[in-house]
Structure 1
């Protein structure tokens, strides 16, 4: 057991049961670290990023970086010295745009593939020689696509190009691409930040660790094709089917004036009929025959048949669809929540390996989908392992949601569509979307009716919070609406409703109210209810889904981010004391999936690093089962200031210092760029301080990696 300071904090003198009751993680004392401060040491040693303002011990990751790593700009040196620079949202957005602009100095991927259509107007560089001269050294190991029986799609831009076989294609740039030998792995520093002083052999001896190639290239669908994007940006897409639904509902279509009306098909000339017609005649006849499937009025068009012959996967034939929606069996299912930023395709693919039954894509804004934004369409990509997959859209007005629903039905491969009526962030609510719909149920009704009427082949679901106002659903001041909506949304056309047991005003100040969720689920005439909020163990899941509560399924959000193996624990009903090496293998798999999805070139590697770091900002919150004195663990438990794991690697994985997360990413993705820094986007260290915890829970310091945007995952 580490030395304990003479003046112990009040919480340290409590028993394990008392700590758990106060919302403090009851970690065994031998796994806590305490530093005995010498007189005057506080003045000499600068406070690290993990050090609290009250002078408590910093996190184990607060050791200084090596001198070589501290070189760089002033911000990097200040970061290495432990100084935290607070940044406004405006400054964060500005720096993010500057980084994106800097990234555009790289070589155009499409040009390297020989398919760039922009020529000299392209925003990316087309100078292959300059790119090869400045290309970073290759990473060790085989190319992630080595075992896929396909040529690496990134060619000489791949960070593992030295392992590629000799070029066998007619690529015009292949001759100019010399083979770069992979840089040898670097030995890991013995005194890595956040780890124990002694090297116990649990950390990889050399980094970066070679990644095993994928057995097969992951196939994904729902890509935004250029011709469809052009139609959307030029207002040439035919939304007459959605507009007809809006007219029936008496909703004014605000966007109709901007849309160019498609030209009606011209009747064939008699001479052409006598001669049998020209080559384009079958396409015109097919377009006319498609109208009866959409109502028989000859006006509504599901797709542009004239482009269907081009083999473009974005245009799907609507005549072959079933007349009824394919139902989804929600009973007992474990649903992965639509997690903004962190719920990307590689993470969903990882959760499928641990037993997730249903996955939902990240929240996408309906207006951005209609405008053809590539970044928003990327949120609806689906991996082949996602057997039941839904897309979540967010919008505040029925015209946008109806058109978005038609666009999704015509072009997106998914099993259901979910409308987000629970997002709490101001940016969304101020535009009349998200949780603000809970204040205007009449507008919410039009939104649900419009979207459900347009969707003919797949069900519609709705995700809500308990209400908009109130510090807690059980408070007398709370104006809950979920118990009323659960009866109405079925009449409006929704097939299920997810209820997050918190109000919008509450955020994460209190625990989720599962008693209120059960009240909604037991209401007469209620649609199937999917409960969401604070599930962190199989015991909690079994208690909250008992037969008397009436909850049909459960949705896991932050619990899945902190411990993705929660799906396995729930299905097997056991507390999995997962080892540090198993968790590192899980991180390695995420890196492999990320490279498969975002690419193995420099841009893809850094994109994978960024999203891996976002996930690590949650993953580090996990406290191993073997370190706790009380089970099951609770999500709202605050950890002690410093945790010493059972191995050097376990200590490192528990670090709350972003510099340690960067080092973990370097184990698989190579060194980070010069001057690279990371700040979590979301408040991943949000803890509930429920009634009865008082100042005891607040007395436990935690890292200040709270992010710069409102929390929306959970």
Structure 2
């Protein structure tokens, strides 16, 4: 598969991403090991797991531990979440000054009830003034370091309370380098289909780069999204679960090259071993293998590997045990074509979005939000 027109590199301020593909932060998944695994497959921008601004400012040990980057990450990119403009600004300055971060993304897309019921996550863009103050503070803090600030959001809370076009205008007015849109509302969570038309609407309504997110399961989906919406790049999340080679395919498709054939089970097993090795290098062999367990089902999805082998792979705690089990897999088994183009990871059904009482009565907010709205639950 090739594309007739190659997209331009993605420009975020002075930062250039040759292949306009961004790895979406996913809690418990996109740690330094997984980002390196993806980066070894193809060019792009690989964003660290989401961290709360409060955690950075208060020097929370677990938050700071997430600021680990592999040697192949030429750009240190972090997704930050917060609800207080001052705290956001202080966190951005710390990231740039003390941790060498070169790109900061702000997440306003989380649909999780414990976050939205306090006015955070996907509920926050409804308060356009607060959104503007947060972005202004972040951009001002990053400016002395020449670090671009971007934001990610959803279409809105529900179809009656859409916020994405207003968010695009606010992002543009406050000096954001780009805005990413997940083409779903908070009510949808991860169910149904992403609305790519909304991404096209946002692109037509703003002069800053727009990144599209939602339902990119194969390289051809990224090509189709960019052709249909005119967006400047894509953000990939669930589609790469158990399939880090998707970034190889994306790089090929978006630079006019032929996409390689799908891997055999033997080739998948080699990637699995590399993933566990990278996790072990970061966490130690035993902890790395334990952390790897969650990825087994994603890697083997659709393959005919026996339940006994799958079950034992979910209990490995050493490289030797992992190697022995991987050796039991049939290396010649072809990739299950039935899995191509199918959703991966969480899906679920639409869910009612709970917001603070009176939240929808006005686009402005009086006073400060409940600190509980700044929760480390990522999503969007």
**Both structures adopt the same fold (TM-score exceeding 0.5):** yes
Aligned equivalent of 2:299, options 615, 619, 626: 619
Q: 1:460 aligns with which of 149, 168, 171?
A: 149
CA contact (8 A) 2:76 2:102 kept: yes
Quote the offset at 1:479 in angstroms: 2.2
**Cα distance, 1:373–1:579 mapped onto 2, change above 3 Å:** same
Q: In the TM superposition, what is the alpha-carbon distance from 1:509 to its structure 2 partner?
A: 2.0
Distance of 1:656 and 1:499 partners within structure 2: 41
Cα distance change on mapping 1:326 and 1:439 into 2, 3 Å: closer
SS where residue 183 of structure 2 aligns? Answer: strand
The answer (yes or no) to whether the contact 1:468–1:505 under 8 Å persists in 2 is yes
- Residue 150 of structure 2 contacts residue 176 of structure 2 at CA under 8 Å; is this kept in 1? yes
Contact preservation (8 Å) 1:333, 1:553: yes
Unaligned runs of 5+ in 1: 1-324, 471-477, 599-603, 624-642, 646-650, 672-682, 691-709
Q: In the alignment, is the contact (CA less than 8 A) between 1:346 and 1:594 conserved in 2?
A: yes
CA distance in 1, matches of 2:114, 2:286: 27
Compute the displacement of 1:593 (Å). Answer: 1.1
Instruction: Evaluate the alpha carbon distance shift between residue 326 and residue 711 of structure 1 in structure 2; reply closer, same or farther with a 3 A threshold.
Output: closer
Q: 1:559 Cα deviation (Å)?
A: 0.7
**8 A Cα contact 1:487 1:527, kept in partner:** no
Distance 2:38 2:110 in 1: 23
What is the DSSP-based 3-state SS (H/G/I as helix, E as strand, rest coil) of the residue aligned with 2:16? coil
Residue equivalent to 2:314: 662
User: 1:134 is matched with which residue?
Assistant: none
Query: Of 656, 679, 686, which residue of structure 1 is paired with 2:346?
Result: 686
* 2:43–2:251 Cα contact (<8 Å) kept: no
Q: Which residue of 2 aligns with 1:469?
A: 158
Q: In structure 2, how many angstroms separate the alpha carbons of the residues matched to 1:430 and 1:609?
A: 36
Distance in 2 of aligned mates of 1:533 and 1:660 = 33
CA RMSD of aligned residues (A): 2.7
Partner of 2:287: 607
TM-score by length of 2: 0.76
2-side partners of 1:584 and 1:608: how far apart?
16
Q: Which of 511, 524, 533 is the aligned partner of 2:193?
A: 511
- Give the counterpart of 1:359 among 43, 46, 51: 46
Shift of 1:711: 9.0
Greater strand share, structure number: 2
Whether contact under 8 Å (1:335, 1:356) holds in the other structure is no
Contact residue 487 and residue 526 of structure 1 kept, 8 A: no
Contact 1:331 1:553 in 2 (8 A): no
Change (3 A) 1:580 1:429: same
SS at match of 1:507: coil
Deviations 1:521-560 (A, max 9, x none): 122x3310111111011221111111x6220011111111
- CA drift of 1:606 comes to 3.2
Q: Counterpart of 2:37?
A: 350
Give secondary structure in 2 for the equivalent of 1:362: strand
Equivalent residue of 2:162, what SS? coil
* Shift in alpha-carbon separation, 1:526–1:357, aligned structure 2, 3 A: same
Whether 1:590 and 2:275 are equivalent positions in the alignment is yes
How far did 1:713 drift?
Answer: 5.3
Structure 2 residue runs without a partner (length 5+): 1-11, 254-258, 323-342, 351-375
**Is the Cα contact below 8 Å between 1:529 and 1:551 reproduced in 2?**
yes
- Residue 567 (structure 1) aligns with: 247
When residues 565 and 522 of structure 1 are mapped into structure 2, their CA distance, relative to the original with a 3 A threshold, is same
In the TM superposition, what whole-angstrom CA distance separates every residue of 1:673-693 from its partner, at most 9, and x where no partner exists? xxxxxxxxxx97534789xxx
Q: 1:669 to 1:459 in 2, by over 3 A?
A: farther
1:558 aligned partner:
238
CA contact (8 A) 1:389 1:416 kept: yes
Greater Rg by CA: 1
Equivalence for 2:138: 451
Aligned residues between the structures: 317
Map of 2:84 onto structure 1? 397
Residue by residue over 1:691-711, the C-alpha shift from the partner in whole angstroms, topping out at 9 and shown as x without a partner, is: xxxxxxxxxxxxxxxxxxx99
* 2:25 equivalent among 331, 335, 338: 338
Q: Match for residue 495 of structure 1? A: 177
Q: Separation in 2 of the partners of 1:387 and 1:660? A: 36
Contact 2:239 2:344 in 1 (8 A): no
SS in 1 for 2:104: strand
Q: Separation in 1 of the partners of 2:273 and 2:116?
A: 37
Cα 1:591–1:510 change in 2 (3 A) is same
Q: What's the counterpart of residue 261 of structure 2?
A: 576
Q: TM-score, normalised by structure 1?
A: 0.42
Shift of 1:385: 0.4
SS at match of 2:129: helix
Aligned to 1:538: 219
2:56/2:63 contact within 8 Å kept = yes
Q: Evaluate the alpha carbon distance shift between residue 428 and residue 688 of structure 1 in structure 2; reply closer, same or farther with a 3 A threshold.
A: closer
Q: Cα distance, 1:329 vs. partner?
A: 2.8
Deviations along 1:125-161, one digit per CA (max 9) or x if unpaired, are xxxxxxxxxxxxxxxxxxxxxxxxxxxxxxxxxxxxx
Aligned to 1:695: none
In the TM superposition, what are the counterparts of 1:147-186 in structure 2 within 5 Å?
A: none
Q: C-alpha separation between the residues in 2 aligned to 1:463 and 1:375? A: 23
For residue 340 of structure 1, report the CA deviation from its aligned partner: 0.9
Cα gap change, 1:713/1:491 in structure 2, threshold over 3 Å: closer, same or farther? closer
Partner of 2:98: 411
